[in-house]
Amino acid sequence: MDILTVVFEMLMAYVATICFGVIMNIPHQAFNSAGLIGGISWGFYWVISHLGVGIAFGNLLAAMLISILSMYAARYKRMPVIIFNIPSLVSFVPGGQAYQTIRNFAIGHTATAWGFLMQVVVIAGALAMGFALGELYHQIGLHHWHRLLKRQSK
């Protein structure tokens, strides 16, 4: 694990996020921030997965990071959150595993296919859970800030 590989992976995720953004027709003012979120979270995922946290926990943390960063970006850019979090998620889609599931079913290796299907389900579930946790963080954080501001004004 060297720093150059991580930077390269992040750059790739940055480009992928922007390309997906073009397909989803996101406003061009949001390109850079969405790309950065995609790049940073993929780099983060790459590092923690090489530290050995496993696919489920790694995806969960990465999705949580995307969700948290996206909401900050949304507040900063004054745009809906989905403009940032949907394109950023594209590098995390379990495309390889989904393909292997279908391929193994098609050629009759059913046992292998079930294994890959389980991976797809685990990753998708982890991503969903991560998003939910990220939203929870913001809901809690929001209340927290409100409380802090109120206390200060008193």
Partner 1 sequence: MVNSDQEQAEVISACLLAGRILVENGSEISRAVDTMERIAKNAGMDSVQLFVTVTGIMLSVDNQPNAQVAGISHRTIDLDKVARVNELSREFAVHKIKLSQMVSRLDEIDNNTPTFPFWQKLLASGLLSAVLLIVFTKEFIDAPAGFVIGAIGYAVFYFFNRQFKVQFISEFFASLVIGILAALAVKLGLGVYLDNIIIGGVMPLVPGVPITNAVRDTVAGNLISGPARAVEALLSSIAIGCGIVCVLHFL
Q: Are 74 and 48 in contact (CB under 8 A)?
A: no
Task: Provide the minimum distance between the beta carbon of 37 and partner 1 in the complex, in angstroms, as a whole number.
Answer: 14
**Cα–chain-centroid distance for residue 72?**
14
Task: Provide the minimum distance between the beta carbon of 151 and partner 1 in the complex, in angstroms, as a whole number.
Answer: 27
Buried-exposed string 62-97: b where 16+ CB fall within 10 A, e elsewhere: bbbbbbbbbbebbeebebebebbbbbbbbbbebeeb
Q: Alpha-carbon distance 109 to 104, whole Å?
A: 5
Applying CB under 8 A, the residues found at the interface with partner 1 are 9, 12-13, 15-16, 18-20, 22-27, 30, 42, 78-80, 82-83, 85-87, 89-91, 93, 95-96, 98-100, 102-103, 105-107, 124, 127-128, 131-132, 135
Q: Which residue, 27 or 148, is less far from partner 1 as judged by CB?
A: 27
Task: Provide the minimum distance between the beta carbon of 20 and partner 1 in the complex, in angstroms, as a whole number.
Answer: 6
Task: Provide the minimum distance between the beta carbon of 87 and partner 1 in the complex, in angstroms, as a whole number.
Answer: 8
